[in-house]
Amino acid sequence: MRPTPLFAALLLVSSTAMAQGHVAVISVDGLGARELFGAPSCMSSAPTIRALAERGATSHGVRGVLPAITYPAHATISTGTLPTRHGVHDNGLRGVWFKDRSAIKGTTLWDAARTAGRSVAIVTWPSTYGASADWLVPEDLDNFAVPTEALRAGSTPGLFDALAGAVGAPALMPFTHPEAGTPLDAMTARFAAEVVRRHKPALLLAHFLDYDHRMHASPWSAEACAALARTDAWIAHILAAYRAAGILERTTVFIVSDHGFLEVKRRVSLFPLLRAAGWDRLFPGVEASHAFDLKLAGGSAAFYPGPRHGADWPRRLEALRPRVERIAGGALRWITPERARSMGGFPGALFVLCAEPGYAVSAGPPTQTDIWVGAGTRGAHGYCPDEPAMNGLFIASGHGVRRAGAIRRMSMTDVGPTIASFLGASMPAATGSDRSGAFRVRSSRARDAGR
């Protein structure tokens, strides 16, 4: 395929042009790595993303975190550490998202960039209210109210109004609205592009959500693929802004994601399952639905100690485990606390249940007796990160990136340190590694030394 003028500009990189340039990090929520390598996929609707991948490098998959959901994953990308260290274990609490930078423990990618003297623009990125950035429009996925005024107040003073005046005021909605992702993504793209044209930041972070929104409703449907097509066009819009600013040829573009998706046909109702496995005999007088602080994540559920928890519960739960596995074998896996911690998530849980492909978990009402509940055709994530369909996306393209094609799988903790290396920044607290050696342009000096 012959490159368009836009992407031809991305290729004009000399072998020695490794001086610090600009970095754009664009997250496409819910776009799994497997969509680049096979079916099911909406990638035929995404020519911009495919062109970036073809002209750069893409990982066979980014192994994520437990649970494979948006905010823990983005905090891992941002810090290079697992949720057990950065502290973002869920999307939020009681319907309120973890919006504030203070939710994340440790140094973030944008902190590292500013420490290195690089300018930072954040336009819709998880947990960024109060973040230290030169130009900030935080992410606000308010489930109950239109977040426009909160965004204005949380942005860099004067920035929101300046951007809205230049490209139009957003018509945002509460995030639970099925159409909420469309105007939100439009604001993200238009604001980000205007920031690039005006300010030429060294680092841009932007997050698109509509694809995830549509995939939950109907995975890989015409509506989901249309959403990815819109996102792809917005990415091209941002790249055009880099071109208009005269810096596209010095910009490295990273397309990343937090998780993939699985199609769900049946849900496992957890409390009827526990009762069928002998809960009432092992825990007499304790109602299963009142015994735990339960955290649901679509493809997984964590069972935390409730008010009636006793010291002997771990022993009694071990007696329950083989019965649960026998009844729900092929649909659920029982994950021990130690195994959950190694996956980075749900610290303090007594045990975790991870669903297998085709299934998701559900609490259901206390009176429910059916274990198996039809789900129609829905999309879900939140599974254990060793489920291949949960692998996130990683594409690097443009300045300083050679045409390396598919590279080995990587951990989500590697993403932040890898991006930081293109900013001349370091993330010493990260537990992941800089993986850019697999795709960086090699200088003529390095090539000569290797002869």
CATH code at 270? 3.30.1360
Q: At what angle do helices 222-244 and 47-54 cross, to 10 degrees?
A: 60
One-letter amino acid at 96 equals: V
Give me the CATH number covering residue 245.
3.40.720.10
For CA atoms 314, 319, 320, 324, give the dihedral sign.
positive
Based on the domain organization, do 256 and 270 belong to the same domain? no
In this prediction the pTM is 0.93
Residue 113 has which token pair?
A: 């960039």
Distance CA 215, CA 208 (A): 13
Based on the domain organization, do 68 and 181 belong to the same domain? yes
Q: How many helices (H) and strands (E) does the chain have?
A: 17, 19
The strand pairing partners of 399, in sequence order, are: none
Full domain range(s) for residue 344? 265-379
Quick one: pLDDT at residue 308?
A: 83
Based on the domain organization, do 18 and 130 belong to the same domain? yes
Residue 347 main-chain phi, psi, to 5 deg: -65, 140
Based on the domain organization, do 62 and 187 belong to the same domain? yes
Q: What is the mean pLDDT of the chain?
A: 93
Based on the domain organization, do 172 and 283 belong to the same domain? no
- Which residues, in sequence order, are CB contacts of 140 under 8 Å at separation 6+? 97, 99, 129, 147, 150, 151, 154
Residue 9 has pLDDT above 50, yes or no: no
Distance CA 229, CA 180 (A): 16
Last residue of a domain, one of 379, 411, 426: 379
Based on the domain organization, do 224 and 359 belong to the same domain? no
CB atoms within 10 A of CB 375: 16
Based on the domain organization, do 163 and 208 belong to the same domain? yes
- Which residues, in sequence order, are CB contacts of 189 under 8 Å at separation 6+? 206, 208, 234, 235, 237, 238
Based on the domain organization, do 271 and 322 belong to the same domain? yes
Pairing of strands 57-59, 262-269: unpaired
* Residues 305-358: tens digit of each pLDDT: 998 888 899 999 999 999 999 999 899 999 999 999 999 999 999 999 999 999
Give the lowest-confidence range in 50-54, 157-161, 290-294. 290-294
Based on the domain organization, do 346 and 252 belong to the same domain? no
One-letter amino acid at 268 equals: V
Based on the domain organization, do 87 and 157 belong to the same domain? yes
Last residue of a domain, one of 359, 379, 399: 379
Quick one: pLDDT at residue 11?
A: 42
443 pLDDT band, cuts 50/70/90, is low
Based on the domain organization, do 219 and 330 belong to the same domain? no
Based on the domain organization, do 318 and 337 belong to the same domain? yes
Q: Considering its fold, how many domains does the chain have in total?
A: 2
Nearest to 371 by CA among 316, 321, 322, 324: 324
380 pLDDT band, cuts 50/70/90, is very high
Report the percent of the chain where pLDDT is more than 90. Answer: 89
